[in-house]
Structure 1
């Protein structure tokens, strides 16, 4: 789906979400072009429900699994989320799918210990775009961006 179409969908489902916000940009990235795994656009309407607050958590580590453990250990509030969309960013070089699978298995094992009901619970992966002058080590690390939705209640 083209970026303009994704932006229009985000605005349709959450008209008050500021286009310049980090959440909007990360949703556009998650549902945009270039991911190695197709995402279901129906997850966007489930994620952008009524009476929700959103948070973006960026993690990087030696492996995708390291990122998962950082999320669970350093951000226990993520277990209280209503929904989570996450994407992994591969380091430079070929994608090692077995590493991504290990991270998702670790996520599943950790979450069976904690009662959760994320809806949606979806993930994808993007390849590295190489190094940049501003962040030369970024292309060498494994990264995960988690977009969380919380109920703000009444």
Structure 2
């Protein structure tokens, strides 16, 4: 999705979200051009529900799976999230899909449906050198997780 289209969609679904906020910028990145896995826009409408708080967590590691375990171990509040949109940034070189699959299996094993809710749970991946990356030569795996929490009463 073109960045201008992504911004318009986010503003339509969440008109009070500030365009200069970290969450807004990361949602634009998540929806951005160059994604290796198509993202369903219905996930965004579920994610931007009424009375939500959001948090962005950035992780780097030796593997995608390492990033997932950092999320679970170092950010236990992720277990209380209503939903998560996330994207992986591949290190330089070809994407190793089996490593992405291992990370997503680990995510599913750690964030059980009973505690997480999976509303929504979506991910994509970007290669180095795309519009969404600053560091085109990094050999680190990265995970950017955007979490939604219930604002409460």
TM-score between the two structures when normalised by the length of structure 1: 0.92
Which has the higher mean CA deviation after the structures are superposed, 25-34 or 105-114? 105-114
- Is the counterpart of residue 142 in structure 1 residue 141 in structure 2? yes
Deviation at residue 114 of structure 1 after TM alignment:
6.2
2:138 alignment partner, SS class: helix
Other-structure match for 1:2 = 2
Contact 2:23 2:54 survives alignment (8 Å): yes
In 2, the alpha carbon distance for the partners of 1:125 and 1:41 equals 16
Other-structure match for 2:101 = 101
Contact 1:84 1:148 survives alignment (8 Å): yes
Tell me how many residue pairs correspond in the alignment. Answer: 150
In 2, the alpha carbon distance for the partners of 1:149 and 1:11 equals 17
In 1, the alpha carbon distance for the partners of 2:16 and 2:35 equals 27
Contact 1:35 1:125 survives alignment (8 Å): yes
In 2, the alpha carbon distance for the partners of 1:47 and 1:141 equals 28
Unmatched 5+ stretches in structure 2? none
Deviation at residue 118 of structure 1 after TM alignment:
2.3
Contact 1:2 1:33 survives alignment (8 Å): yes
Other-structure match for 2:29 = 29
Unmatched 5+ stretches in structure 1? none
Deviation at residue 113 of structure 1 after TM alignment:
8.5
Deviation at residue 135 of structure 1 after TM alignment:
5.9
CA RMSD of aligned residues (A): 1.8
1:15-54 paired onto structure 2 within 5 Å? 15-54=15-54
Other-structure match for 1:152 = 151
In 2, the alpha carbon distance for the partners of 1:91 and 1:126 equals 9
2:125 alignment partner, SS class: strand
Deviation at residue 63 of structure 1 after TM alignment:
0.3
Q: 1:12 to 1:142 in 2, by over 3 A?
A: same
Deviation at residue 35 of structure 1 after TM alignment:
0.4
Other-structure match for 1:82 = 82
Other-structure match for 1:65 = 65
Deviation at residue 140 of structure 1 after TM alignment:
0.8
Contact 1:52 1:149 survives alignment (8 Å): yes
